[in-house]
Amino acid sequence: MAAPDIKMGRLSAEEIAEKFGDLHPPLSRPEALIEADRCYFCFDAPCTTACPTGIDIPSFIQKIRSDNVQGSAETILKENIMGGMCARVCPTEVLCEEACVRNTHEEKPVNIGLLQRYATDPTFQSGAQIFERGSETGKKVAIVGGGPAGLSCAHRLAMLGHDAVIYSRDDKLGGLNEYGIAAYKTVDEFAQREVDWILNIGGIDVRTNIALGDDIHLADLQRDYDAVFLAFGLGGVNSLGLENEEADNVLNAVDFIADLRQAKDKGKLPIGRRVIVIGGGMTAIDVAVQSMRLGSEQVDIVYRRGADQMGASKFEQELAQTNDVSIRHWSTPIGLSVANGLVQVKFERTRLDAAGKLQMTGETWMAEADIVFKAVGQTIDMVSFSGDAQPIKQHRGKLVVDEERKTSLNDVWAGGDCIFGHDDLTVSAVQDGKLAALSIDRHLRGEEANNG
């Protein structure tokens, strides 16, 4: 059996620069005006209803049409403070653009995502502040997690006059926007430029390399702060539950993506000639496509269900296929073996029974790869709460919150991927942070929540 073919520098620096360029180049002014003119500016627009943050989409497009780009950015950012990143990574094809009335068999929807980027990019390029810090209230809120939910909450609290202290286990803020999204979706350090712009409002203190459960505890934060917002994401990675899963060439996709995003020279990241990715979500697509763009010759995604059940959107699935990634459905791994560094994976074919439940068929097949990436989802790390006297209500391993993102504890709110029922989208995390901040503000001012 041959040794694994894993090495760096499969492509030249020029080839990598081209392959990791902007996935969706920005619109020029003429292109933006033409696209904006396609909008019907609907009353009770379905696109606005479909947006998790409730951006008034017809309004911001109308402002582009009248060349009021600054006003357009204000309309977007007052509802979604991370509107720049969401313009790049939000699955608009299943949200606002899917709901667009022009989305028919005869024509395509208005390109809302690119129009949103056209409107917001000048603000981040100039660093101009649109929002002001509110009059200081003397109240201080602890935020655990520096991703989209935590940043959104901190910024809204600052607008309302409260001090926010963000505790992050990472070196940089941004969460998955910085560490977990394909490099070709956010180029030129945009994630950090957006973070810097958010922090520049003032009233937000940042403390990095501090982990809940190790360096700080929830009970201490409850004692020292007027309120707490938990937005620590998903610290754990699901396993396959197979022997030899910890072998050197069986890797977590999320770790590889993070390494790639932080690499100053992507060509120095070793990659296999043949790669297998196990999973069907956005992470699986991201790691598969980036493997091909680093120079892998064969990349196969293997998913236990069909295309319609994949967590990755149709656009992402098509992106993988146009990057020569093969997607093999209806198979699940049942065994891993390693010999001379090569990984052999035994798969069993699956099907759905009459009740729609996944069934094993008994039919198996083998595949061999230099590297196998596990992309079967992440899980909350409840070790974070060890030693805290008051437990937080949980369901299926995630925190339970109400409509205002309040937990079962009177002074603790939560949002982002760590809460039950969340759809793991940046835009939804931003909305969690915004709603939690508004609820925290009412709590700190002694106002009763209006729950209807």
Q: Which two tokens stand for residue 197?
A: 């712009």
Which pTM value belongs to this model?
0.94
Q: Nearest Cα to 406, choosing from 442, 374, 368, 439?
A: 439
Q: Which residue has the tokens 């101009």?
A: 128
Per-residue pLDDT, 390: 77
Mean pLDDT of 207-224: 94
Measured at the CA of 189, the angle between CA 186 and CA 191, to 5 degrees, comes to: 65
CA 233, 294, 262, 82 torsion-angle sign: negative
Q: For 64-67, which contacts have Cβ atoms below 8 Å and span 24 or more sequence positions?
A: 64/32, 64/33, 64/36, 64/115, 64/118, 64/119, 65/33, 65/36, 65/37, 65/39, 67/33
Return the pLDDT at 397.
Answer: 82
- Asked if 357 and 403 sit in the same domain, the reply is no
The verdict on 371 and 322 lying in the same domain is yes
Apex 342 CA angle, 339 and 344, nearest 5: 85
Stretch 172-188: mean pLDDT: 94
Q: Are both 271 and 364 inside the same structural domain?
A: yes
The identity of residue 115, as a single letter, is L
CA 173, CA 186: separation in Å to the nearest integer?
A: 15
* Mean residue pLDDT across the chain: 94
In a domain, 14, yes or no: no
Residue 178 confidence (pLDDT) above 90: yes
Nearest to 278 by CA among 302, 313, 311: 302
Whether residue 165 is contained in a domain is answered as yes
Q: What is the pLDDT of residues 278-321, one digit of tens each?
A: 999 999 999 999 999 999 999 999 999 999 999 999 999 999 99
Q: Is residue 451 part of a domain?
A: no
Distance between CA atoms of 91 and 188, rounded to whole angstroms? 21
378-436 residue pLDDT tens:
887 766 676 666 789 998 889 999 999 999 999 999 999 999 998 889 999 999 999 99
Q: What is the CATH number of the domain that holds 344?
A: 3.50.50.60
Indicate whether 109 and 206 sit together in one domain.
no
In a domain, 43, yes or no: yes
Q: Once rounded to an integer, what is the mean pLDDT over residues 34-54?
A: 96
Same domain, yes or no, for 359 and 256? yes
Amino acid 147 reads: G
Separation in Å, CA 65 to CA 24, 68, 80, 105, 345: 21, 8, 21, 26, 54
Residue 5 lies in a domain: no
Q: Which domain holds residue 51?
A: 26-126
- Look at residue 226 and tell me whether its pLDDT is greater than 80: yes
Mean pLDDT of 158-179: 97
Find how far residue 90's CA is from the centre of its chain. Answer: 8
pLDDT at 382: 67
CA distance 306 to 304: 7
pLDDT value of position 7:
93
Would residue 199 count as lying in a domain? yes
Same domain assignment for residues 299 and 180? no
Kindly state whether residues 328 and 416 are assigned to the same domain: no
Q: Which two tokens stand for residue 432?
A: 């969690």
Confidence at residue 256, expressed as pLDDT on a 0 to 100 scale: 96
Query: In the 8-state DSSP scheme, what is residue 212?
Result: B
What is the number of structural domains in the chain? 3
344 and 372, same domain (yes or no): yes
Report the pLDDT value the prediction gives residue 452, as an integer from 0 to 100. Answer: 41
If you count them, how many residues does the chain have? 452
pLDDT > 60? residue 449: no
Q: Which of 92-106, 349-363, 437-451 has the lowest mean pLDDT?
A: 437-451
Q: What integer pLDDT is reported at residue 339 of this predicted model?
A: 86
d(CA 359, CA 349): 9
Structure tokens at 190: 């945009």
The verdict on residue 2 lying in a domain is: no
Q: How far apart are CA 187 and CA 184, in angstroms?
A: 6
Res 4: pLDDT: 87
Instruction: Please tell me whether residues 369 and 281 are part of one structural domain.
Output: yes
Q: Are 86 and 145 part of one and the same domain?
A: no
Please report whether residue 131 resides in a domain.
Answer: no
